[in-house]
Structure 1
Amino acid sequence: MKKKLLGLVACVATLALSGALLAGCSGSGDKTGGDSADGKETLTVGFDQSYPPYGFVGDDGKFTGFDLDLAQAVCDKNGWELKLSAIDWDAKDALLAQGNINCIWNGFTMEGREDGYTFSDPYMLNEQVIVVKAGSHISDFAGLSGKTVMTQVDSAALDVLEGDQAEVAATFKGGAAQTIGDYNNAFMQLDSGMIDAVACDLSIAQYQIAANPDKYVQLSTPLSTEHYAVGFKKGDTELAQKVTETLKQLDADGTVKQLCEKYASYGISYDNWVLGK
């Protein structure tokens, strides 16, 4: 019995120490998430790996995208090590709260989410739009009446369709938009004819249309206009400000424009960059 009790005490002590170490590495609102093996501070970025052109798996099987390159440039500027964490989008809030990631950086709309996160300054203009198949004869919101419209779960487009554009969504087949885990599969269903339209970010629409110019068209009227920003745990003000400051420096030295040009064929435009302008 004594051995068991001593073992239990040791176990509790070990767990307590482990918890303290984890807490020390999870970020406390004024620093990045722990140190790498070479002593550098690490910025762990949570992103959706199926969200081109901001974050996705390239032809070489490696993670790539405009936001991931931007995050790498910020880390290089500050002497940080970047750690990319492909996450389940539904789990992003829990992962951020637990300190598994330092930020959400992946075409992340800030409007309507201000109460849940501390954001960097907005850096990119965005809109929520509707994409349909070319030749569908759907040219406006009225044409979506009785049609099947799909969007990503927990997306800004879904927020808009359940909020300011709820009356439009009420006309869809089933009285609401359908949801799916990622936009790549949504567009596969649009291509196959299983659905009639996809509600998504402007950048996603531009990417899909650039890749398939004869296949898709975008309705001229957007559902909403908004901005992308980097989302941090509520209260992580110092890190958010540091990232904002660094993004401004990267814009001033031409890095941002170079990255926009790198991803121009994916629908990224420097004209939509708003930070510092």
Structure 2
Amino acid sequence: MKKHRRGLRLAACLLALAMCAALLCSCGRTGKTDDYTAAMPVIVVGSDNYPPFNYMGTDGAPTGIDVELATEAFGRLGYRVKFVTIDWEKKKELVENDTIDCIWGSFSMDGREEEYQWAGPYLHSRQVVAVRSDSDIRTLQDLADKVVAVQSTTKPEELFLNAEQNGLPRLRRLYSLQNRDLLYTTLLKGYADALAAHESAIRQFMKDYSVEYRILDEPLMTARLGVAFAKERGDDLPQQLTEVFQEMLADGTVRQIVSRYLDDPEHYLDGLEDSTHA
């Protein structure tokens, strides 16, 4: 089966090269990367603004960990990536009606295994709670009768909506916000006592805006990050992408990309590289 899949990947790459050669001949251009990538079939990736995983660079083009990983991984499979910004609350509908080919944006696989076909995991990420530096909240249990802000349809929202079965205290109020950036404003202005999100995203915000939050030592959970495809997708692209992730973990590509954005890549790889050699 693996030989068959690699054969398909090789065929896709050869097809892309052939298309590129034809394009170069017809246009009279030689040796241009733009011509090569233009000849590749396109994969449309749906994501939202979520630094350091996906955000607009100074040149107005998408950049970030997930953007670089997607470009490299799909490139190895013979595809060109197009990132589009989506309403995160509608992600499942968009991937099921083929508006996008996959969802890729620091997306937790855990608890959603049956909702999508998954590629991954390619990273681990801690879901954590952050408070203002002067807060008296020190543990998750200190959140009892407090107000917490989360992004809607995310893992922290799910955990707090089912607080009792997840061993979390009952909140006074849970703010589920569509716009991720409002999480930080809500905490800064004192409308919420705490916020919950991916640790990497919180640290990126603190770095970008010189804001100091205190992250609780105890995480809500450690999540596996993956790429979600429609449950009824008929080809084996998710499995091919999983195999490419394993190659990129083994050859150090994932570590190299993550280290450009995060200071402690080991924290996010956490055994994934070792598993590729098992």
1:183 aligns with 2:183: no
Counterpart of 1:121 in 2: which secondary structure?
strand
Cα offset, 1:253, TM superposition: 3.0
Note if contact 1:162-1:169 (Cα within 8 Å) is conserved in structure 2: no
The aligned length equals 239
Counterpart of 1:225 in 2: which secondary structure?
strand
Cα offset, 1:141, TM superposition: 2.2
- Equivalent residue for 1:139? 138
Cα offset, 1:143, TM superposition: 2.5
> In 2 relative to 1, CA 271–220 (structure 1 residues): closer, same or farther, beyond 3 Å?
closer
Distance 2:39 2:141 in 1: 58
* 1:129-170 superposed Cα distances (whole Å, 9 cap, x missing partner): 110011112111232233211000000111111235567666
Largest Rg, 1 or 2: 1
- Equivalent residue for 2:238? 240
Note if contact 2:141-2:168 (Cα within 8 Å) is conserved in structure 1: no
- Equivalent residue for 1:6? none
Note if contact 2:164-2:170 (Cα within 8 Å) is conserved in structure 1: no
Note if contact 1:132-1:196 (Cα within 8 Å) is conserved in structure 2: yes
- Equivalent residue for 2:31? none
1:269 aligns with 2:268: no
Distance 1:78 1:223 in 2: 35
Distance 1:172 1:161 in 2: 8
* 1:28-86 superposed Cα distances (whole Å, 9 cap, x missing partner): xxx9xxx999542211111012x111112234433211011100111222221111111
Cα offset, 1:263, TM superposition: 0.4
Runs ≥4 residues deviating over 6 A: none
- Equivalent residue for 1:72? 71
- Equivalent residue for 1:155? 154
Q: Within 5 A, what are the aligned runs for 1:18-57?
A: 38-49=38-49, 51-57=50-56
- Equivalent residue for 1:108? 107
Note if contact 2:121-2:226 (Cα within 8 Å) is conserved in structure 1: yes
Cα offset, 1:210, TM superposition: 4.0
1:208 pairs with 205, 224, 236, which one?
Answer: 205
- Equivalent residue for 2:257? 259
Counterpart of 1:205 in 2: which secondary structure?
helix
Distance 2:129 2:220 in 1: 8
Unaligned stretches of 5+ residues in structure 2: 1-11, 24-37
Which residue identity does 1:96 align to in structure 2?
Answer: V
* 1:194-240 superposed Cα distances (whole Å, 9 cap, x missing partner): 22110112222332344467620101111122211111111436111
Counterpart of 2:115 in 1: which secondary structure?
coil
Note if contact 2:40-2:78 (Cα within 8 Å) is conserved in structure 1: yes
- Equivalent residue for 1:218? 215
Counterpart of 2:205 in 1: which secondary structure?
helix
TM-score by length of 2: 0.77
> In 2 relative to 1, CA 126–52 (structure 1 residues): closer, same or farther, beyond 3 Å?
same
Which residue identity does 2:265 align to in structure 1?
Answer: S
Note if contact 1:141-1:168 (Cα within 8 Å) is conserved in structure 2: no
TM-score by length of 1: 0.78
- Equivalent residue for 1:117? 116
> In 2 relative to 1, CA 173–166 (structure 1 residues): closer, same or farther, beyond 3 Å?
farther
Counterpart of 1:99 in 2: which secondary structure?
coil
